Amino acid sequence: MADLDLPDLNLWLALADPDHAHHCRARRYWECEAAPKIAFCRITMLGFLRLLTNAQVMHGDPLRPGKAWAAWHAFSSLPEVCFLNESPLVETQFEEWTNRRDFSAHCWTDAWIASLAQAQCARVVSFDTDFATFSGLYFLHLKP
| Residues whose CB is less than 8 angstroms from the CB of residue 38 and which lie 6 or more positions away in sequence, other chains included | 4, 5, 6, 7, 30, 80, 81, 82
pLDDT tens digits, 45-92:
999 999 999 999 999 999 999 999 999 999 999 999 999 998 888 999
* Average pLDDT of the residues in 31-56: 97
- What pLDDT does 89 receive? 83
- What pLDDT does 48 receive? 97
Q: pTM for the full model?
A: 0.94
The answer to whether the CB of 69 falls within 8 A of the CB of 49 is yes
Looking at domain 4-141, what is its CATH homologous superfamily? 5'-nuclease (3.40.50.1010)
Q: Quickly state the pLDDT bin for 140 (edges 50, 70, 90).
A: very high
- What pLDDT does 72 receive? 97
- DSSP character string of 55-84: TTTTTT-PPPHHHHHHHHHHHHTSTTEEEE
- Where do the structural domains in the chain lie, given as residue ranges? 4-141
Q: What is the mean pLDDT of the chain?
A: 95
**CB neighbour class for 45 (10 Å; exposed up to 12, middle 13-18, buried from 19):** middle
